[in-house]
Structure 1
């Protein structure tokens, strides 16, 4: 099923959140970090299941541009140089409706990998 286009998309620079309102629904805020680490690009998602690349150090990432792509998506550019993901209305709606569980999964993957959201932190685990 195809998602209708949002009624509005607003970026709030102060708290680095993207506020999206779909027809007939309350607005939802998605952090720039969530959008960046779950970018639909091949660079992040890989070219098939199991090829995902864990994104680390993105806690302070911001959005620099949001450009429409036809009538079905936006291309979001981030201040870390990433700009290859096309966020379809369907994908944005999925992120909005599943944001808590997707965020929790991301945090668990970071923890499992011994990685951090902080761009200036390297996690070192001492075993012994």
Structure 2
């Protein structure tokens, strides 16, 4: 089991840049694109209902974040401009997305290319 992430200390939505800035108590700061968050949503719609790589979501390059709602002291519900809002992004998951951003993004782009899909709608 992975260790828990440090406490989340701040969240800033940069609407014009379509990024979510997340800061953690250990000093880590991550700039997460709305598109990156959307295609890595923890929802069953994206992650699938079983083991495996989940559903490949393309065409989200222009997606924006239209809403943020805290869920207790452990997660964030993000609403995207395409209407997707069913994934609860735990603070641990946001930390993982930040720490592994380069690897996860490259893997996503490789999967898109292999499937002949595009980031554009």
* TM-score normalised over the length of structure 2: 0.94
Return structure 1 stretches of 4+ with deviation > 2 angstroms.
1-5
Q: How many residues align?
A: 119
Q: How many angstroms apart in 1 are the aligned matches of 2:53 and 2:8?
A: 30
Question: Which runs of 5 or more residues in structure 2 are unaligned?
Answer: none
47-56 vs 34-43, greater mean Cα deviation: 47-56
Work out whether residues 75 and 91 of structure 2, in 8 Å CA contact, stay in contact via their aligned partners in 1: yes
Work out whether residues 5 and 72 of structure 1, in 8 Å CA contact, stay in contact via their aligned partners in 2: no
Considering fraction of residues, name the structure with more strand: 2
* TM-score normalised over the length of structure 1: 0.89
Match of 1:117 among 102, 110, 119: 119
Question: Which runs of 5 or more residues in structure 1 are unaligned?
Answer: 120-128
Provide the alpha-carbon RMSD of the alignment.
Answer: 1.1
Q: Please name the residue that 1:46 is paired with.
A: 48
Match of 2:27 among 12, 25, 28: 25
